[in-house]
Amino acid sequence: MDRLFNPFRYIAGTKSLVLGLIFMVSAVFLLYSAGMIQDGYLHIAPTDATIWSILLMQLLWWIVPALFYYVGGLLLSRSHIRIVDVLGTTAFAQLLLIPMIAPMLLPAVKNGMNTILQALQQSVQPAMGDMMAVMISGIVSALFIVLFFIWNYNAFATSCNVRGWKAVLYFVVVQLVVTFVGVLV
Amino acid sequence: MKKNFPTVCPSCGGGLKVQSLHCNECGTTISGEYDVPAILRLKPDELAFVTGFVKCSGSLKQMASDMGLSYPTVRNLLDEIINNLNKLEKDGQTI
């Protein structure tokens, strides 16, 4: 259970950074093949952008919060913190983007979303099968989003050795700032 | 059975002191009042950590590898022990 909620007790530094970069590149290929881009902190949208633009956005949504966590660690922690641990643990947490994105890219779910949208526009009842497919993918994604926040908090707490209400408050503020920036972008 | 060295009074929670020391070889017993060094007041797992830390020449990387934990986790454990030792020192215990 500990490994599920806080893998950073066991992995950090360069090893997790390398694995995290592999996870991010995999997520980029997944998004590119489906014609999607991560245009917000936890938001994807259709695009015709190049793979390099998708990669750039992916890296941006990882590195900006990570740098905020590092600054938070410098302000809140008495420990000697290493940037490679902050970057490594937060990069590793990007692994969860894959199961978060994957269900939304399944043909059944994509078709389901399209038919539901069409049904809503024509003010008719969407088919139960379409609704089920979209609902199940939504639940799976939501579970991974919750785990994504838990992993990110634990990445921040472990790599910067911070805890208590100040750490939680700082983490929440970073999430809000990054989400707000995502809306503006 | 391995006995843990008691450092806290089970009745009131106060710090214990050593009142007598005994030599099993010749039967000599020394009486007095001696403070328990702060390092011995650490919890058994913390004391094991300090022993391991010294044994691997203070290399946190080596400790992390031996314990199967990440570097920051081991560093955080060490910081916690340093914190506890500082607290014990503040409370008037000798190291």
Using 50, 70 and 90 to split pLDDT, how confident is the model at B94? low
Q: Tell me the Ramachandran region of residue A93: left when phi exceeds 0, alpha when psi lies from -120 to 50, beta otherwise.
A: alpha
Torsion of CA A47, A51, A52, A55, to 10 degrees: 80
Residue A17 sits at the chain B interface (C-beta within 8 Å): no
Residue B1 placed within a domain: no
ipTM of the complex: 0.83
What are the pLDDT digits (tens) for B37-77? 888 888 889 999 999 999 999 999 999 999 999 999 999 99
Question: In total, how many domains does chain B have?
Answer: 1
Residue B95 placed within a domain: no
Residue B45 placed within a domain: yes
Contacts B75 to A, Cβ<8 Å: 79-80, 161
What are the pLDDT digits (tens) for A124-177? 777 777 788 888 888 998 999 999 999 999 999 999 999 999 999 999 999 999
Q: Is there a contact between A27 and A94 (Cβ–Cβ < 8 Å)?
A: yes
Which domain range does residue B23 map to? 18-90
- Check A10 against B72: CB less than 8 A apart: no
The Cα A23–Cα A69 span in angstroms is: 20
**Tell me, what's the pLDDT at B92?**
66
Q: What percent of chain B has pLDDT over 90?
A: 63
CATH of the domain at B81: 1.10.10
- Candidates B68, B69, B75; nearest CB to A79: B75
Residue B22 placed within a domain: yes
Contacts A11 to B, Cβ<8 Å: 70
Residue B34 placed within a domain: yes
Per-domain boundaries in chain A: 2-63+73-184
Residue B13 placed within a domain: no
Best CA proximity match to A57, nearest among A42, A77, A79, A78 = A42
Give the CA distances from residue A68 to residues A75, A86, A174, in Å, rounded to whole numbers and listed in that order: 11, 10, 7
pTM: 0.86
Residue B10 placed within a domain: no
- Candidates B70, B75, B79; nearest CB to A9: B70
All residues at 6 or more sequence positions from B66 whose CB lies less than 8 Å from its CB, including other chains? B52, B56
Coil, helix or strand at residue A57: helix
Mean pLDDT of A11-31: 95
